Every structure is written in C-alpha cells, then in structure tokens.
Amino acid sequence: MPETRLDLARIRAARRVIDPVFLDTPLYPCEALEPVLGCAVSIKLETANPVRSFKGRGTEVVVSGLAGAVVCASAGNLGQALAWSGRGRGLDVTVVASRYATAAKLDRIRALGARLELVDGDHELARERAAALARRDGIRLVEDSLDLETCEGAATIGLELAAAAPSFDVVLIALGGGALATGVGHVLRSEAPGTEVVCVQPAGAPAMTRSWHARRVVTTGPTDTIADGVAGRRPIPEVLADLLVVADDAVLVSEASIIAGMRLLLEHAGLVVEPSAALGIAAILEDRDRFAGRHVVTVVCGGNVDPAAYHGWVG
Amino acid sequence: MPETRLDLARIRAARRVIDPVFLDTPLYPCEALEPVLGCAVSIKLETANPVRSFKGRGTEVVVSGLAGAVVCASAGNLGQALAWSGRGRGLDVTVVASRYATAAKLDRIRALGARLELVDGDHELARERAAALARRDGIRLVEDSLDLETCEGAATIGLELAAAAPSFDVVLIALGGGALATGVGHVLRSEAPGTEVVCVQPAGAPAMTRSWHARRVVTTGPTDTIADGVAGRRPIPEVLADLLVVADDAVLVSEASIIAGMRLLLEHAGLVVEPSAALGIAAILEDRDRFAGRHVVTVVCGGNVDPAAYHGWVG
C-alpha cells in the first residue's frame, strides 16, 4: 500500500456517495490518434456530465457530510461542481474566483445558484479570500487537493482505470493542485502497480512539478498559461508529500503543445476540451520516443472553454 | 406490450453480448441549453466510444452469432461499427458505401481493416450492391433496421433511458432506416409508457416520416440533406410497421435548424456532433411551444464528421 493520506477503503466508500451521473465515465480507445501519436491512446472522458469536468466526483463527497454553508476558491471547475452538488443538498454555496477566470465557467457558477465573489488577482489571492470568508462567517472552507474528500472523489477515476482490461502502460494526468494526480495515483499504485503514473503541467505554471523534482515545496511568480485549471503558484506541502509517493514522473509541456493537443482531440476524437485536458496529449507530442508503441490512457478532465478563446487557440 | 418484431427478453439478452465499451453511455442534464431552448434537455451521448456512434451496439449483436464473412451497405457509421465488431471476432468484413459518403467515415472503415467498395450512386445503390455481393459469395448480409439484431442493439439505449430517474416527458430520436427509433421506441412503450416518442428526420430526406404519416411505404427521389446518416429513400415495410406501433410522432426539420442544432451543441454542450445527432435539437428549435417547460432527452447518436465540412456548417 502506498503511504499517503489516502486510503482505498475510504475511496471505495466515497464512490457510494457520488451521484452516478459522475461515475463510470467512458473509457475507450481512440484509434484515430494512434498513427498521429505513435502509441495506442485510450481516453478517460470526464466532460460528459452536468458540470463538464471531473470535479463533481470530489464535491459530491464534500457535501455528503455537510449542512449549512460552504465556500471555496476556484479557477472555475471546482466552483461549478460545488455549486451543483451544494444545490442538490440545499447548501448555501459561495465561490471565490479571479476576475480573469474563464467567463464561461463563471457564468455557469452563477447559473447554478452560487454566490460568486471575484478578486482582482490570481487564483492564489482567491484562495486567501475564500479562507478569510470561511473564518469570518464560520463556514466550511473547501480547499481543493488539501481536503481529502477532493482527492478521494478524484481517486474514484483510479478505481475505474484499475478495473479496466487490458491494463495500461501509462496514465497521463493533468497536474495542478494535485487532487487528481494523488487520487488516481494512489489507487493505481496499489491496484495496478505496473502502470506508470506521469503527471503533466504547463511550463508556464510549473510550481508543483518543480516541487516534485526538488522534493520540497517550490513556489513561483505569476503563471503564464492558457491552462487555467492547473495554474497554481503555491503547492500544498501535504499534497506534494503524497505526490512524491505515487507519481513516477512529472513533466512540463509548452503552450504550443497544449494547443496542438487540443486540436488533435478535436480533429481525431471530436472532443472540445479545455487546455488542462490536453496536457496528456501534449506530453506525448513532446516525447514521442518515450511513449512509442505503448498503451497510454489520458484523463480528459474538463471541457469548459470560452467559445471565442477556444476558436482562437484551435483555429 | 407493443406488438412489433422486437421482444424485451431478446433485447435484454442482446445487452449481454455487447462489448461494455458501448453500454451505459452518459445520460446527463445540460442546463446551459435550457435558457436557449426553453425546456430541460438531457443528453444521451453515443459518441464516446471506439466508433463514435451508437451503431456498435447493433453490430456487436450481429457478430455474436457469426463466423466467416459479412457484408453491409453503410453511409459510414454502420460500416465502421461492423468493421470494429467483426475485427474483434476475426470476421472478413466488406462494407459497400456511396463514393459521396463522408470521407472521415470511409477512412475509419479502411483503417479498421474492412474491405471498402464504393458505388457511384447513393445509399440505395449501395444497398443493392451489398445484397448482390452477399448472394454472389453466399455470405451474411447485414441489413440495417431490417435485421433484428440492429434494432435490438439500438434498443439497449431504450433500456438505459427507461432505467433513469426521473423519467422524461419526451425522447427525441433521429429517424433514418428506423432501427434506432423502433428499438428505443419499443422499450419505452413498454417500460416508460408515459414518455412521448418523437422521431425526427430532415425535410430533405423525408421518406420514412412521410410513410409514417401515410401509414404505408412512401419512397422519394434523391435526398438533399447534410444529415448523411439518415438519408434513405426507400423505407423497409417491416420497419415502418414497427414504427407505426411505437412512435407518437414523426417530424421533419430544415437544414438550417440542423445546423443551428449542431452549433448549440458545440457552444453550450461542448459536443462535436454529426448532423443526424442534431436532429433532436433542431426539432425543439422548430416547435418551441410543443416542448416548453418539459423534460426532453435527445439521443446524440453520432459524431463522425469531416472537419472541413463541420467547420463550414458551424463556422
């Protein structure tokens, strides 16, 4: 058993409180990508649900034990998911986000009935503000990746990957705060130990990857990436500690590769994905030899984009 | 029990021989479409699988009892699915298609290892040629919608819809040869009798809809629609007879509405769909009053498009 904050029995229990609309998502080979990428690619699709990202798995676990009010900081997907899960439980949900966040995500948070507070700064400032609100009002603060429920929810993707036959050689996971990577990684380490766990982050937001390589928290200055969902600057020590146990590697990719990945997923898989969801394909593009001839699964973790921005990237 | 050629026990048995990669597809509310369309819309997504359409459900049933060689006519999706299912069983698969069929579909049929024969005419000529090949070589001809396995496979979508809670007021189903409509309709008639079954066809390919209203087979001249997957001219009498039992209505929609539907699914649901898969949304656009305030589910039945053509339609 990998020694992290996570526990397989708790992850299995988490699965039982998650609305089935978020579970057992499509996992299928996309052969059209094979000649382009030089390896067999399977897609784990986390966008075909009410909030178009994997975050609903975690927020369902968060709200399962909750009453009253809850607040989180979000680049947009966690906020949407918490708004959705909270609405179902009659919770009073507040989301703090950067005013520079993806407009489509902010619109959906409002439409789902959450109170949205915008800060004039980046995601780290939103985290500070959310924490201050929680202290002031005495309400539950949901901290993505630090709160175990968010990791356990994401980890249920790992259960579904581990149950698949045939097993995969490599799993490519977008790396931001770390909930997805540590959650999925923990399960694969114990249930599919032969599968390599590779985390992928934009070179323009490299804090967690640098931290993983340095084996200590490395913070950075302002991020510079279109992958808004993974653009943190201050890794959480507890999450890094888990990531050091479960990840085989953490790699950085360029913005050009992320855009190329989005384009390939559109043209060869018919998928509109947000930049974070193309990180896995970007990693293959940047190191074809590493993946050549292997069976790779990439977690397509979100599909919330501003149509105009998406068109500008993908053309 | 609706009196059609279909049988619920056989449909449940069909489910057991279908590769799970085609089953239990996402079914989820897309709230972003609600303010645009004036009704609650849920999506049954049949594009996140190895052949990007629902046809794999049927071809899995077809090949389950088969050895040797098999031939079908196809606008592209059945051929892809038969190639995929047949490859898994070691079958020798031939697909006959119009040389004017969607290039992306023909490319995938070839890539999946099937023999592809093109005819210089439309889908009805491909059907004639496939039948001639089957007679000449003494091999199994798969006739979409006529062969019960194709309807039974499609009908497993109906099982999944009927099992969902809450139930739906209306199910919108693309109407072409009729396998999808009669299959899903049969199950809903018996398992969810309160749900209205509405079939949708392009005004440019109206043969089956006209036949349904006339209660007898009506053939037409050349079709004129971008919805290649449903562009038949000669309805099959046995399929029409079933459709008369299970459908509440059959409506025609314009090309402009189909394109508007594709655009809405792209912008508000992040889905790249082929024209046939936008027929349901097109029907809502053309008759908003009919659906106002109701809970509608639309089966997004396929996502195979030529990127250039798609861009030309959706802009």
Q: Do domains B8-53+148-314 and B55-142 have the same CATH topology?
A: yes
Residue B290, token pair as written in the block: 């009919």
Using one digit for the tens of pLDDT, what is the confidence trace for A21-70?
A: 999 999 999 999 999 999 999 999 999 999 999 999 999 999 998 999 99
Reply yes or no on whether the pLDDT at A1 is more than 80: no
Closest by Cβ to A31, choosing from B24, B50, B273: B50
Q: Is the dihedral of CA A290, A295, A301, A306 positive or negative?
A: positive
Closest by Cβ to B31, choosing from A43, A45, A111: A111
Q: What is the pLDDT of residue B16?
A: 98
Are residues A111 and B32, on separate chains, in Cβ contact within 8 Å?
yes
Q: Is B73 helix (H, G, I), strand (E, B) or coil?
A: strand
Name B249's Cβ contacts closer than 8 Å, sequence gap at least 6.
B196, B197, B198, B199
Are residues A270 and B304, on separate chains, in Cβ contact within 8 Å?
yes
Using one digit for the tens of pLDDT, what is the confidence trace for A179-191?
A: 999 999 999 999 9
Q: What is the pLDDT of residue B182?
A: 98
Are residues B49 and A43, on separate chains, in Cβ contact within 8 Å?
no
Q: Is A202 helix (H, G, I), strand (E, B) or coil?
A: strand
Which of B22, B52, B274, B305 is most worth mutating to test chain A (most A CB atoms within 10 A of its CB)? B52
In chain B the beta strands, taken as DSSP E runs, fall at 27-29, 40-45, 69-73, 92-98, 115-119, 140-142, 170-174, 196-202, 249-253, 295-300
Q: What is the pLDDT of residue B1?
A: 76
Q: Which chain B residue is nearest to residue A303, measuring alpha carbons?
A: B270
Which of B21, B268, B276 is most worth mutating to test chain A (most A CB atoms within 10 A of its CB)? B21
A15 phi and psi, to 5 degrees? -55, -30
CB B172 within 8 A of CB B279: yes
Which chain A residues are within 8 Å of B110, Cβ to Cβ?
none
Are residues A270 and B270, on separate chains, in Cβ contact within 8 Å?
no
Q: What is the pLDDT of residue B176?
A: 96
Are residues B28 and A49, on separate chains, in Cβ contact within 8 Å?
yes
B307 touches chain A (CB under 8 A): yes
Closest by Cβ to A32, choosing from B108, B270, B273: B108
pLDDT digits (tens), chain B, 315 positions: 789 999 999 999 999 999 999 999 999 999 999 999 999 999 999 999 999 999 999 999 999 989 999 999 999 999 999 999 999 999 999 999 999 999 999 999 999 999 999 999 999 999 999 999 999 999 999 999 999 999 999 999 999 999 998 889 999 999 999 999 999 999 999 999 999 999 999 999 999 999 999 999 999 999 999 999 999 999 999 999 999 999 999 999 999 999 999 999 999 999 999 999 999 999 999 999 999 999 999 999 999 999 999 999 998
Which chain A residues are within 8 Å of B299, Cβ to Cβ?
none
The C-alpha of A160 sits at a distance from chain B's nearest C-alpha, in angstroms, of: 13
What is the helix (H) or strand (E) element at residue A265, kind and residue range?
helix A255-269
- The DSSP secondary structure of A154-170, one letter per residue, reads HHHHHHHHHT-SSPPSE
Q: What is the pLDDT of residue A2?
A: 85
Are residues A28 and B49, on separate chains, in Cβ contact within 8 Å?
yes
3-state secondary structure B113-179: CCEEEEECCCHHHHHHHHHHHHHHHCCEEECCCCCHHHHHHHHHHHHHHHHCCCCCCEEEEECCCCH
Does ipTM exceed 0.85? yes
**CATH no. for A55-142:** 3.40.50.1100
The C-alpha of A225 sits at a distance from chain B's nearest C-alpha, in angstroms, of: 21
Q: Which of residues 18-37 of A touch B (CB under 8 A)?
A: 21, 24-32
Residue A301, token pair as written in the block: 């973790």
Using one digit for the tens of pLDDT, what is the confidence trace for B194-210?
A: 999 999 999 999 999 99
Quickly count helices (H) and strands (E) in chain A. Answer: 14, 10
Are residues A43 and B48, on separate chains, in Cβ contact within 8 Å?
yes
Residue type (1 letter), A27: L
Using one digit for the tens of pLDDT, what is the confidence trace for A139-180?
A: 999 999 999 999 999 999 999 999 998 889 999 999 999 999
Are residues A31 and B111, on separate chains, in Cβ contact within 8 Å?
yes
d(C-alpha A123, C-alpha A97), whole Å: 7
CATH class name, domain A8-53+148-314: alpha beta
B112 touches chain A (CB under 8 A): yes
Q: What is the mean pLDDT of residues A100-115?
A: 96
Interchain CB contacts (distance < 8 Å): A and B: 62
Closest CA to A42 of B145, B49, B249: B49
Q: What ranges do the domains of chain A cover?
A: 8-53+148-314, 55-142
**Residue appearing with tokens 């861009």:** B311
**Residue appearing with tokens 């599968």:** A195
d(C-alpha B53, C-alpha A240), whole Å: 41
Q: Is the dihedral of CA A53, A57, A62, A63 positive or negative?
A: positive
Can you say how many angstroms the Cα of residue A274 is from the centroid of all Cα atoms in its chain? Answer: 11
d(C-alpha A186, C-alpha A158), whole Å: 8
d(C-alpha A206, C-alpha A212), whole Å: 10
The C-alpha of B237 sits at a distance from chain A's nearest C-alpha, in angstroms, of: 35
Q: Is A26 helix (H, G, I), strand (E, B) or coil?
A: coil
**Residue appearing with tokens 């399977």:** A42
A133 touches chain B (CB under 8 A): no
Closest by Cβ to B50, choosing from A28, A47, A108: A28
Which of A23, A25, A31 is most worth mutating to test chain B (most B CB atoms within 10 A of its CB)? A31
A304 touches chain B (CB under 8 A): yes
